[in-house]
């Protein structure tokens, strides 16, 4: 990995998330567009990485000199950059943010193009690297019979709290409670082998889905109930198991999904999700074909959750 140059697209999470994660994972150099420089140098925690950045003036130059690319853009911008990367033989590695595209249908088209390219790629479904997700995996390995696992996630999204007209609000742009936030949990359900959506209820106003409640099922395993509220006054993330005898076991009681033992130390600068992002980045250089079927199953489950959703205001 040390001899590789990775281009990073995205002046937000791309800079303060993926740039440190890549460089701390062993990547030698990062290529960034010149127009990101003001935001890069405005973040003091990124100063330590400045000497390892190659600044380029255009998309053509940044891709010409890179071995791979991290695309951390909005879902409606992301496909165009990915298709440009697929045309270049020197770009061998691609890491995409979620959702891949605004809709399940567009995402499946893009996924098929990535698979056909034979390039190594990953999608940032990173809940799989959290300790609470590992506890769910362990629980399901020994679970037999009826019962339920509940995942409750509530918070006040930044764009709602500050009344920002962001794409993250709008379903049509790949935002909203299901497409932008819920997709993380849908991907985890898919990886756990859940293929059935028993119920799906969503709350939407002016094309903005802000709350979602759904139940997923799998034969001989507990149902998994997801409750996601992005306009809540409280920030809570909890995971509980409920067995057939009525016993309740807490698997996680957190402020948010990343408030776990993988978070950065409180005295360390930078985004606390970087340790998890490092795992995502390192997986990019570990050849595996199992992700392709998982990614397809995730999109199918996403489409099923939306197609049967009952919407209310």
Residue 101 CA to its chain's centroid (Å): 12
pLDDT mean over 174-191: 98
**Contact in structure between 106 and 297 (CB atoms under 8 Å):** no
Paired tokens of 92: 């061998």
Confidence at 261, pLDDT banded by 50, 70, 90: low
Confidence at 243, pLDDT banded by 50, 70, 90: confident
Paired tokens of 312: 């209310």
Q: List, for residues 209-231, the tens digit of each pLDDT value.
A: 999 999 999 998 999 999 999 99
pLDDT mean over 142-156: 92
**pLDDT at position 266, please?**
42
Q: Over 90: is that where the pLDDT of 91 sits? A: yes
The boundaries of every CATH 3.40.50.720 domain in the chain are 5-123
Lowest-pLDDT range of 9-18, 269-278, 297-306: 269-278
* pTM (two decimals): 0.95
Phi-psi region of 114 (alpha: psi -120 to 50; beta: other; left: phi over 0): alpha
pLDDT mean over 49-57: 96
Q: Over 70: is that where the pLDDT of 263 sits? A: no
Q: List, for residues 232-241, the tens digit of each pLDDT value.
A: 999 999 999 9
Using only C-alpha atoms, what is the Rg of the chain?
A: 20
Coil, strand or helix at 183: helix
Q: List, for residues 19-47, the tens digit of each pLDDT value.
A: 999 999 999 999 999 999 999 999 999 99
Q: How far is CA 224 from CA 176, 250, 294, in A?
A: 21, 14, 18
Beta bridge pairs of residue 95: 70, 122
Confidence at 246, pLDDT banded by 50, 70, 90: confident
As a whole number of angstroms, the distance between CA 278 and CA 58 comes to: 27
Could you tell me which CATH class the domain 127-262+289-312 is placed in?
alpha beta
Query: Which CATH code is given to the segment(s) 5-123?
Result: 3.40.50.720
The boundaries of every CATH 3.30.360.10 domain in the chain are 127-262+289-312
Nearest residue to 21 via CA among 300, 297, 271: 271
* Cα distance between the two ends of the chain: 49
Q: Over 80: is that where the pLDDT of 260 sits? A: no
Q: Over 80: is that where the pLDDT of 5 sits? A: yes
């Amino acid at each position: 990995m040390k001899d590789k140059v990775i281009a990073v697209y995205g002046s937000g999470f791309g800079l303060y998330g993926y740039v440190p994660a890549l460089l701390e994972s062993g990547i030698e150099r990062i290529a960034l567009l010149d127009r990101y420089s003001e935001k890069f140098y405005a973040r003091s925690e990124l100063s330590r990485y400045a000497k390892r950045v190659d600044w380029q003036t255009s998309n053509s130059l940044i891709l010409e000199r890179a071995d791979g690319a991290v695309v951390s853009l909005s879902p409606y911008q992301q496909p165009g950059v990915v298709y440009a990367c697929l045309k270049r033989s020197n770009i061998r590695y691609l890491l995409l943010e979620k959702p891949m595209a605004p809709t399940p249908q567009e995402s499946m088209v893009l996924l098929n193009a990535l698979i056909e390219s034979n390039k190594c790629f990953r999608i940032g479904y990173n809940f799989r690297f959290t300790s609470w997700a590992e506890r769910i995996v362990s629980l399901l390995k020994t679970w037999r019979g009826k019962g339920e696992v509940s995942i409750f996630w509530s918070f006040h999204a930044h764009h709602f709290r500050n009344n920002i007209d962001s794409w993250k609000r709008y379903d049509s742009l790949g935002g909203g409670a299901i497409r932008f936030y819920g997709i993380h949990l849908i991907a985890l359900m898919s990886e756990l082998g859940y293929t059935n959506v028993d119920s799906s209820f969503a709350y939407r106003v002016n094309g903005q889905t802000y709350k979602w409640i759904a139940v997923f099922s799998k034969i001989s395993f507990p149902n998994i109930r997801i409750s996601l509220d992005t306009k809540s006054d409280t920030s809570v993330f909890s995971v509980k198991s409920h067995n057939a005898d009525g016993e309740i076991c807490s698997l996680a009681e957190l402020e948010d999904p990343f408030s776990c033992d993988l978070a950065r130390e409180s005295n360390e600068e930078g985004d606390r999700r970087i340790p998890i992002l490092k795992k995502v980045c390192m997986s990019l250089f570990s050849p595996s074909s199992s992700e392709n079927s998982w990614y397809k199953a995730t999109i199918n489950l996403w489409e099923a959750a939306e197609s049967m959703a009952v919407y209310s205001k």
